[in-house]
Chain A
Amino acid sequence: MEIKTHLLILQSTSFCNINCTYCYLPDRNIKSKFELSLLPIIWKNLRESNLLGDKIDICWHAGEPLVLSASYYEEAIKILNSENIDNVKINYHIQTNGMLISNEFCNLFKKYKVNIGVSIDGPEQINDMKRVKRNNRGSYLETMRGILLLKSHGIPFTVIAVVTDATLNHIDEFLEFFKNIGAAQIGVNVEEIEAENIKSSVLTSSENKEAYHHLINGLYDLQVKHRVGVREINHSLQKIVFAPDDKEVYDSQSFPFSIISVDSEGNYSTFSPELLSATHPNYGNFIFGNVKSEKFIDSYKNATFNRINQDIQTGIEMCKAECDYYNVCGGGAPSNKLFENGTFASTTTNYCRWHIKELLDIIADRLENDDNQ
């Protein structure tokens, strides 16, 4: 299979203006800034590494992008567009907490059709349990102000909500909130054990199972009955019902350079984006080079890279051999395997027990047993 880069994650800054309790980013207090002069180098690197396909998603993420100015992103987009002599279809994305959205940003989003993802965990009493500022006050009101501004400009947006124990204690309020928020799609991330975040308030307690089932059933109803798109339900329905039977399954996090993440200093990583700023006793860090001096493809000369790649492929083969859900999942996220099992060369994690296997079982139940859907 020939791999092309389908997602380029750029960390315009590692700094974040808030301090969520579950955040896995270690450098969120550091006010770094990605130099725009790196963008032509990155594009040339993609071309010379034969990683450019027909289209690419470029996403500013891994810090709060909007602490930099709208003019910074306009300049970045102009540079990337001018470098794109290859006529690759570029889709721009920004994942933000929404607090700093301004009219100036909205004009930029409209002008360049930037896809906006807003991180919000639900209504105020849920969101503000974990998504807090450095003074420990909640971020809800400022995020909602940003969302209302997007809506007043007619800018579509998606949301990502992290599911924590706070969610499971208020599931009906959570579902009602997202039913009415007006997002094009909701993505639900169960709090993971990852890098800086060494404990999940959801995945480690079997007492949460009943509430989790209630949540997934509610999300299924949001999508199927109320036409509110839910990423996890959407992807599951596509794979259970609509995908061809003989389609080979894979996960892009498992293949080198299908996803590339570049930090604010020009260091690059691949596989799971969460690895960019992570370290681990068994592997060290996951920086495979710097775009200023190395091509992406040069990583294959790097012994650590090859060891990590080999372990990830071993883990995928193990999943393929022993897991009944492999034909839908494709082998899971390497970052979950690493931070839960201590090695990429492993299989089941709590994350996949809950957010893949339980999820798929619940959806299969609904598909089998619901008469009116």
Chain B
Amino acid sequence: MESKNFKDRLTTVRTKVRQDSTKLQNLYESLVASDDKVAKPISNQGTVDFDVYQWKGNWSSFNQRW
């Protein structure tokens, strides 16, 4: 079943994941493993630091079928 309030859920999930640096790093690495368009981490340590992360993803791609 679809969520009754996905907007709030999105905020909750987003906040929770961004606070978990291990999870965030793992998710990020799964992105770059398959998509060279994803922005590279720009912290000095080479890790994902969300405060300085520059997203270069493409908003227009979510309904892509080709």
Contact = CB atoms under 8 A, between A and B. Distances in A.
A associates with B: yes
Interface of A: 6-7, 9, 59, 61, 95, 117, 160, 184-185, 187, 189, 192, 223-224, 227-231, 234-235, 237-245, 247-253, 258, 273-274, 324-325, 327-330, 332-333, 353, 356-358, 360-361, 364, 367-368, 373
B13 A330 contact: no
A229 B59 contact: no
A241 B35 contact: no
Contacts of A187: 64-65
Nearest to B57: A238
Interface in B10-52: 10, 12-14, 16-18, 23-24, 26-31, 33-35, 38
Secondary structure at chain A's binding surface: helix, strand, loop or mixed? Answer: mixed
Identify the 3 closest CB pairs spanning chains A and B, nearest first. A229-B34, A252-B60, A324-B6
A327 B10 contact: yes
B63 A238 contact: no
A328 B10 contact: yes
Contact of B35 (A229, A329, A357, A361): A229
B13 A368 contact: yes
Contact of B63 (A160, A248, A251): A251
Given A223-B30, A373-B27, A251 B62 contact: yes
Contacts of A274: 65
Interface size bracket, B side: 35 or more
Contacts of B23: 367, 373
Contacts of A6: 60
A273 B5 CA distance: 32
A238 B60 contact: no
Of A7, A189, A252, most B-chain CB atoms within 10 Å? A252
Contacts of A329: 62-63
A242 B55 contact: yes
Contacts of A231: 64
A357 B63 contact: no
B66 A330 contact: no
A287 B53 CA distance: 42
A320 to B, nearest CB: 12
15 contacts: A224-B30, A234-B34, A235-B61, A237-B27, A240-B10, A240-B14, A242-B31, A242-B55, A251-B63, A258-B60, A324-B4, A327-B10, A329-B63, A356-B62, A373-B26
Contacts of B61: 235, 252
A330 B31 contact: no
A256 B14 CA distance: 32
B62 A59 contact: no
Nearest to B4: A324
A361 B66 CA distance: 23
Contacts of B7: 324, 327
Given A248-B59, A333-B63, 4 more contacts: A185-B34, A227-B30, A245-B14, A250-B59
A304 B59 CA distance: 28
Contacts of B63: 251, 253, 329-330, 332-333, 356
Contacts of B18: 241
A263 to B, nearest CB: 15
Nearest to A220: B30
Contacts of A192: 65
Contact of A242 (B4, B5, B53, B62): B53
A235 B62 contact: yes
Nearest to B2: A357
A223 B59 contact: no
Nearest to B48: A242
Contacts of B59: 239, 243, 247-251, 330
A39 to B, nearest CB: 20
Nearest to A117: B66
Contact of A237 (B1, B5, B10, B31): B31
